[in-house]
Structure 1
């Protein structure tokens, strides 16, 4: 069994977190327009936007290299504004046996925060933690924010 890990990062939003959550859940493909230097395309492969079991294909540029990840929406917690994606095909699975992206939007207490959690199991202990991917995700959140403020 490979080494498991979890990275957590967050960005405080300067606009309504509910708007971010709704956009991320139901209009995910808009992110590629808001962060075009990072996200080449986000396409629905199977299912319906914002529903568990749907497959989304992400084409992005990470560390100067074109990458692709096909992911299934594994869980949605509407009350806590959390969406979990699990990689089922693509470049991430060349390094990781399991890879999940969890997006949580916290709108409690007057603050609006987006927390990104990456959960993974490496194929071997020599594989680095996905720190650059975390930075990438947080920068995409900031790009989206810039379109709203």
Structure 2
């Protein structure tokens, strides 16, 4: 990725138990064409109130028919009492299903 080009993306990850929208802003750090991966770093959002850092890596490995997608979530909690970010795991699953529902030809 050209270092002079940056992208900030806003995501809607769902809602909290009390109905509050879970939003985040993320910076696109890298696009790795060779490894078919992208890396995003969260810079704003509800989860940043309880975490020091969040990084997402999504990699697609081409297969005979389609691709195998690996989603990696790297996060550091502010303390041990912070619950695991299960909403983010579900968001990754939902995004993968959305992409799978819209096949593309390269």
4+ runs of 1 displaced by more than 4 Å? Answer: none
> In 2, distance between residues paired with 1:143 and 1:95?
28
Under a length normalisation based on structure 1, what TM-score does the superposition of the two structures give?
0.58
- Does residue 143 (structure 1) correspond to residue 98 (structure 2)? The answer is yes
Q: Per-residue CA shift, 1:87-116, capped at 9, x if unaligned? A: 111112011110011110111x52511111
Shift of 1:70: 0.7
Shift of 1:61: 1.3
Give the unaligned 5+ runs of structure 2.
none
Cα RMSD between the aligned structures? 2.2
Map 1:109-120; keep pairs closer than 5 Å: 109-110=63-64, 112-120=67-75
Asked whether the 8 Å contact 2:14–2:87 carries over to 1, the reply is: no
> In 2, distance between residues paired with 1:144 and 1:132?
18
> In 1, distance between residues paired with 2:61 and 2:94?
18
Give the unaligned 5+ runs of structure 1.
1-50
Shift of 1:132: 3.1
More helix by share: 1
Under a length normalisation based on structure 2, what TM-score does the superposition of the two structures give?
0.79
Aligned mate of 1:89, from 23, 28, 44: 44
> In 2, distance between residues paired with 1:115 and 1:52?
25
> In 1, distance between residues paired with 2:53 and 2:47?
9
